[in-house]
Structure 1
């Protein structure tokens, strides 16, 4: 009996010791481990390589601002290349390397919730960048007014068709939406439907493009041209990559004149198409202030600072401090006042646009 009591006491002591050790090693959710803010590692996770802006604008602008604010900080960067599982692995690698903050632009908004949860469990704050992660475990969200993007796109298309007396009866439009796993795509679609559904314009068909894949988008539009022929009076495309795919389908089918196509992102190729008359409009989102704001928030978080959000966005039952930046519709008439004025493609913006489009640029007073 005496031996039994000794063993029981020993076991109890061991359990208490293990419990105390667990409490000592646990990280309080939402509180970052101790890092030196002057040499912190910042993780930047971007979603795909299909959309040109991520490699050409978001990453370099973020990196430049980070270097300016914290010369000793190290950027850990990864692009998911349109693969949610790959993005999960990239995030796990960054956590293992000891990042102080994760800036996460999710390829799949729902799947990325596990990344945010894992980060919080390790005391690492998360900034949801450009696309909203479907998680309450976020410290900030920074993006654009994405419903407004869809509204502006749809309004431009509706007004064009109404001015031309098109889009009603057995004639109408196609809606080429973005990826169903991207929360932004859902917001673009919602905003566009708010305008189109009240306009009297006929919606012939719509498609949610898996992974924003332009090849799938082009195949779908080609099929709709076969089905509806010249009853198609215009095309809503959720971004400029999809707009380019739609225009390629129209050209391949020898549709003449080309139907008005709207997009967004103000990609270089899209602006060139607009000046040449192949694309009707795009929506300009000034990426530099978005990327710079994300870098500023990341550096602040390494110092345990919590800047106040301009607004809040509700997600998974939580109110997330947020910054939603304004957007601007762009047609040929205001390319000069928007992307050129802001040097959107760098100091050589004019030559980037105009080298192969000299006559189109001259026509619109650019160059």
Structure 2
């Protein structure tokens, strides 16, 4: 998706939210109810090991809700990968009278049961980034396409070496349905086009675990036989790169996802090859739009359905050394000064990052 298309998407989302704005002040009013709780929208995100949730998704969601509904307030919690904690947070929101919850689930299978409980109490659920069976609406990027793009970018980086290369795959947490989609998409791109997948394991979305799995892969495959590494996200790519450096392995393609600032900096430095940009300028505002619509009982305008749930699936973008300026900087996600620390200044200048 180019910059113009992204602006059109954002513009249409803004228009639909503005249309709801005139009705927003009515939420919770007129019947003697608790206006405070009835204008609150819950946002529950799954973990903080992936930097984007706290740094990007949360503030963008809060800003979009406030633009759409001046009276609305976002009640936020992060589950720090703990499904029991997230269930407590979910139940507390319902007990406090929150009528709409945007839920980035720790465990999608368990969360499906929570949705049923919420519906029984008149509470609507937006499945945020991770699909949940029975949710009222689901907003994410096309996560199968994310995996395909990761695999294709790895093939492009390998070039003529791809056909004989031995690949290490460090996948995401198996409780996250997106991890399975990333993995499936990546295999679609890679299978039959690389020498073989020599080692594959889950890094559990944890940089430390991913680094340990990478060390195990080096021992299993051999340090001189690894051609490239697929990492399901940037956080794990950081642990993987450290493990490779400790093993004396340099110059092989390593891919990631999420366009975290540390991942972008590794791309500038040359230790990571690419990442996948899933713009929070699209994801968070669209989820916020749907949350406000559900609160105001405005009909949902979804593009498609995912397992029977109305859904919007956004387009991911590969980011490498050639388009950092035209993606994450142009979109205002990061400033050049944030990326180009003193030790990266010369390389940033070479890449035209400013």
Q: Is the 8 A contact 1:237 1:262 kept in 2?
A: yes
Q: Is the 8 A contact 1:39 1:74 kept in 2?
A: no
TM-score by length of 2: 0.87
- Indicate the structure (1 or 2) with the bigger Cα radius of gyration: 1
Q: Report the equivalent of 2:338.
A: 352
Q: How far apart in 2 are the matches of 1:51 and 1:217?
A: 13
Q: Report the equivalent of 1:56.
A: 55
Q: How far apart in 2 are the matches of 1:91 and 1:102?
A: 8
In the alignment, which of 311, 314, 338 is matched to residue 327 of structure 2?
338
Q: Is the 8 A contact 1:37 1:302 kept in 2?
A: no
Aligned residues: 320
- The yes-or-no answer on 1:232 pairing with 2:205 is no
In the alignment, which of 302, 305, 316 is matched to residue 312 of structure 1?
305
Pairs within 5 Å for 1:1-367 = 36=35, 40-133=39-132, 135-136=133-134, 138-163=135-160, 165-166=161-162, 168=164, 171-210=165-204, 212-227=205-220, 228-255=222-249, 257-314=250-307, 319-345=308-334, 349-356=335-342, 357-367=344-354
Query: Cα RMSD between the aligned structures?
Result: 1.5
* 5+ residue gaps, structure 2: 1-32
SS in structure 1 of the partner of residue 101 of structure 2? strand
SS in structure 1 of the partner of residue 285 of structure 2? helix
* 5+ residue gaps, structure 1: 1-33
Q: How far apart in 1 are the matches of 2:296 and 2:156?
A: 49
Q: Is the 8 A contact 2:150 2:256 kept in 1?
A: yes
SS in structure 2 of the partner of residue 111 of structure 1? helix
Q: How far apart in 2 are the matches of 1:297 and 1:197?
A: 37
TM-score by length of 1: 0.84
Q: Is the 8 A contact 2:38 2:99 kept in 1?
A: no
Structure 1 runs of 4+ aligned residues shifted over 2 Å read 34-39
Q: Is the 8 A contact 1:175 1:206 kept in 2?
A: yes
SS in structure 2 of the partner of residue 309 of structure 1? coil
Q: How far apart in 2 are the matches of 1:96 and 1:76?
A: 13
Q: Deviations over 1:172-194 (max 9, x none)?
A: 01000000000000000000011
